[in-house]
Amino acid sequence: MTELETAINIGPVLARELRQAGINTLEDLRSTGHLDAIRRLRAVNPGRDCANSALAIAGAIAGIRWMQIPPAERRRIIDEVNAALAE
């Protein structure tokens, strides 16, 4: 099992909130996916910036820095998260 803090893009605060949301390892994060992880994070911290967090999580799942996600994919992730949270 891989500690969340060792994953790229995941700092101590995000890791703590992910654990509070029931996501304890990088493997848990991968199986949860970025969209469900953001929904769960919002339940733990309603004030969390979801766009930045979604990009960080998507990058962590892919094993790359969020800035390496192609711009069109970044836009798709942000639009997907915004739409899901508006429901």
Q: Which residue has the tokens 């890791």?
A: 15
The pLDDT > 90 percentage for the chain reads 89
Mean pLDDT of the chain: 94
Burial of residue 80, with CB atoms counted within 10 A of its CB: 0-12 exposed, 13-18 middle, 19 or more buried: middle
Q: Which domains does the chain have, with CATH numbers?
A: 4-86 (1.10.150.20)
Question: What confidence score (pLDDT) does residue 77 get?
Answer: 97
Q: Which residue has the tokens 């992910």?
A: 18
Is the pLDDT score of 66 beyond 80? yes
The pLDDT tens digits for 15-26 are: 999 999 999 999
pTM, whole model, 2 decimals?
Answer: 0.92
Question: What confidence score (pLDDT) does residue 35 get?
Answer: 93
